[in-house]
Structure 1
Amino acid sequence: MLALFLRDLRLGIRAGGGALVGVIFFLAVVAVIPFGVGPDLNLLARIGPAILWIGALLAGLLGLERLFQADREDGSLDLLVLADGRHMLALSVLVKCLAHWVANILPLVIASPLLGIFMNIEPIGIAAAFATLLVGTPAIAFIGAVGAAVAVALPRGGLLVSVLILPLAIPVLIFGVSACYAATTGPQPFLPPFLILAALTLFFAVIGPFAAALALKANAD
């Protein structure tokens, strides 16, 4: 599993620019917002956490269609499916999701405090956005694995992956933004939505790999 993690981590960094493309896209999304809403710093500070979350969600979709593509092209995906025993395929999918998150989504989380300064967000709001993104964005990878597994046999499945993932990612977005707003404006406490966000990530960490494994088996058959 460690060898699989390191292999996918290297592939995720090299393929298509890896983290750099995601960070640039994240920056582009955040930079465009002030042109649409105007130069009102108070408004930008108020909607800033939501913009960071939307930008991270959209940037996190980049590269998800390639999650199993390299394995399918070199034949290793068939070996993973054939060697499945005691849910080993689901465990392999979990490891691949973690590698994808580290290579492509974690840099977005690291860049979020700097982009929060650009949006005139208060320090406590920046800290809340960083914490919620750190806890909530792994769910995007786990959900994305299901869409990537369904579309792995399609020649151009990138759009289909995004369409499948976005509705499932809405609860993660809602509670991530709610926790940020609770930390900055109140009167609701920060901890309840943050704990629900963590619970969603753990839920998708269990459900996502198993659903993706079933989809990969169906495609193999």
Structure 2
Amino acid sequence: MIALLVRDLRLAFRAGGGFGLGLAFFLLVAVLVPLGVGPEGGTLATIAPGILWVGALLACLLSLDRIFALDFEDGSLDLLATAPLPLEGAVAVKAAAHWLVTGLPLTLVSPVLGLLLFLPADGYFWLVVSLGLGTPALSIIGAFGAALTVGLKRGGLLLSLLVLPLYVPTLIFGAEVVKRGAMGMDPGTPLALLAAITAGSAALLPFAAAAAIRVNLR
């Protein structure tokens, strides 16, 4: 599993698997929103939690189609399906690699972008916590969507349509954590729900994704 994780990380960095692309998109969102909404700090502070979470969500979405597409094209996915490593484990490893390349960098850089949107000082900690807890769910759900569309030509648009509705609960609770934290309120309830979504996704979706891959490889 470690060898597969290292391989996917190397491919991601060598082939432009989303690291720089996701960060660039996240930065563009944080820069363009003030230009469109206006520089008024109060307005930006109000919408900052939602905007930062939407930016992170869309940045993660950019590279989802690459999770299994390259392996399908070169035949590696067939080898993974017949390897001693359970296919469910391979799916989990690939989702983890996607998170390390996209979700983790977005989480680490988010406080810097929060400055551009006048995020209140009390919200920075909760922004990092919510993204660190919620972005793994985005990668796991995305891996499930990628498994459903693997092998389809030009399946990127279909993948987006499948995955975006599944992202909505994570987006709602993640933004609510930041909003409540910035206002000095207790974010415990949305934080617990966000953790439950991530835990449930990690427990169930690798099995669903593996089943979808087996069907698509027949």
TM range (shorter): over 0.9
| Cα distance in 1 for residues equivalent to 2:168 and 2:35 | 25
Aligned with 1:115 (options 113, 116, 120)? 113
- Structure 1 match to 2:74: 74
C-alpha distance 140-42 of structure 1, shift in aligned 2 (>3 A): same
Deviation at 1:186, TM superposition (A): 5.1
Alpha-carbon distance in 2 for matches of 1:27, 1:43: 19
Contact 1:12 / 1:104 at 8 angstroms: preserved in 2?
no
Cα offset for 1:126?
Answer: 1.4
Match of 1:125 in 2: 123
Question: Would you say 1:203 and 2:200 are equivalent positions?
Answer: yes
Q: Could you tell me whether the CA contact under 8 Å between 1:147 and 1:160 is conserved in 2? A: no
- TM-score (normalised: structure 2): 0.95
- Matched with 1:153 is 151
- Aligned identity (percent) is 49
Q: Which moved more, 1:189-198 or 1:162-171?
A: 189-198
In angstroms, what is the RMSD of aligned CA positions? Answer: 1.4
* Cα separation, 2, equivalents of 1:161 and 1:180: 28
Task: Give, in angstroms, the shift of residue 107 of structure 1.
Answer: 1.0
Q: How many residues align?
A: 218
- Report the residue type matching 1:155 in the other structure: K
How many angstroms does 1:40 deviate by?
1.1
Q: Does 1:28 align with 2:43?
A: no
Q: Give runs of aligned pairs for residues 133-212 of structure 1, distance below 5 A.
A: 133-185=131-183, 187=185, 189-212=186-209
- Give, in whole Å, the separation in 1 of the partners of 2:70 and 2:91: 14
Partners of 1:194 and 1:96 in 2: how far apart? 25
What does 1:24-63 align with in structure 2 at a 5 Å threshold? 24-63=24-63
Deviation of 1:150 after TM superposition, in Å, equals 1.3
1:64 counterpart SS class: coil
Paired position in structure 1 for 2:90: 92
